[in-house]
Amino acid sequence: MLTFAYINAVGAGHGHGIDAGHGGSPSGNHQRRLAVSLAVLAASLVLQVVVGLLTSSLALLSDAGHNFTDVLGIGMALAAMTAARTSVTSDRRTFGLYRAEVLAALANAVLLFGVAAWVVYEAIRRFAEPPEVPGLPLMLTALVGLAANLVVFALLRRGARESINLRGAYLEVVADTLGSVGVLIAGAVTLIFGWRYADPLVAIAIGLFILPRTFALGRQAVRILVQASPAHVDVAEVRAGLAALDGVQDVHDVHIWTLTSGMDVGSAHLSVDATCDPAAVLTCAQRLLTEKHRLAHFTVQVEPPGARTGCTELRW
């Protein structure tokens, strides 16, 4: 939905922002899959915790820890998605609650980072005196956890490409899937060779694998929250393209940011000459922004000669 404003010669004008109460973010299309994933992982978590405590397996408890963050993370993602879809715009929330999805993704990243760091620390500490861990219960429990994770992996894979909110939950599931594989390996090594170091080694490998990916997710969420321009949008190219339109003399006050995944918004002021047709300028701007830059939510203000004197560009 592209929206535009034409400011007349005396400097009065208006524009219409996007209506966040309609349509929806990409993550909203996968709400039912997220709910099913939550139920599957919650059942798996209960089994992992019980067996992990009974067998004193750090690898299994670390896998359960990741599973717990999956459950909590998917719960937060689902709650944020529901809030974003059911919220209505108002004078106090003109964009609705779509940012709740980004906050959930950031919370997921912080939570998973903390769990992974603790697992690595605890595994290193256990090298001094690794406990004896029965291999068979580890393997059987890990098989159940792996089956649950593969189901959720299939449910969330498509949505993870479209939404940072779902990507946070998906990343946790990937980590937990690898954790289940790792626990299977640790259980097999322990059962066959009786080597006690397999359990803490697998726990460290899981933690080291997920830490950098969690950091990347958190960084992406922070970029959205501080309203940095989207990484896939070249703002200089957008500005240059608008400046090259027939009749445009100057482009200023260009701002492009992201509300949530798949919802990039922006605004720009175009100073035009007296002989141009403002409607033609808006049509060309619309085509440029939607077809070339994929910016469907954009407000353009066209300023005729003399109007720029009343347009002050913010220097925040």
The predicted structure's pLDDT at residue 241 = 95
Residue 16: its pLDDT value, please?
A: 42
Question: DSSP state, 88?
Answer: -
Given CA atoms 212, 218, 224, 228 in this order, what sign does their dihedral have? negative
Closest CA to 134 of 70, 209, 59: 59
Please give the average pLDDT of every successive group of 10 residues along the chain, which has 316 residues: 44 38 51 81 82 74 70 74 65 69 81 80 77 69 81 77 69 74 78 78 79 82 88 92 93 89 86 89 92 88 72 58
Bridge partners (DSSP) listed for residue 271? 250, 303
pTM above 0.75?
Answer: no
Please give the pLDDT value at position 132. Answer: 66
Q: Determine the length of the chain.
A: 316
CA separation for the pair 185, 59 (Å, rounded): 10
Predicted pLDDT of residue 9: 36
Distance CA 202, CA 274 (A): 71
Write the burial class of residue 122 (CB in 10 Å: 0-12 exposed, 13-18 middle, 19+ buried): middle
Q: Which residue has the tokens 């429990």?
A: 141
**pLDDT on residue 68:** 75
Cα–Cα distances (Å) from 66 to 24, 59, 200, in that order, read 30, 11, 15
Return the DSSP state at 245: S
**Which residues does residue 303 pair with via DSSP β-bridges, in sequence order?**
271
pLDDT at 127: 77
The DSSP letter of residue 129 is: S
Name the residue ranges covered by the structural domains of the chain.
Answer: 26-225, 229-310
CATH 1.20.1510.10 fits 26-225, yes or no: yes
The arrangement of secondary structure in 229-310, i.e. its CATH architecture, is 2-Layer Sandwich (3.30)
Helix (H) or strand (E) holding 270: strand 263-272
pLDDT for 135 equals: 64
Provide the 3-class DSSP secondary structure of residue 209: helix
Residues 6+ apart with CB under 8 A from 58: 119, 122, 123, 126, 131, 133, 199, 200, 203
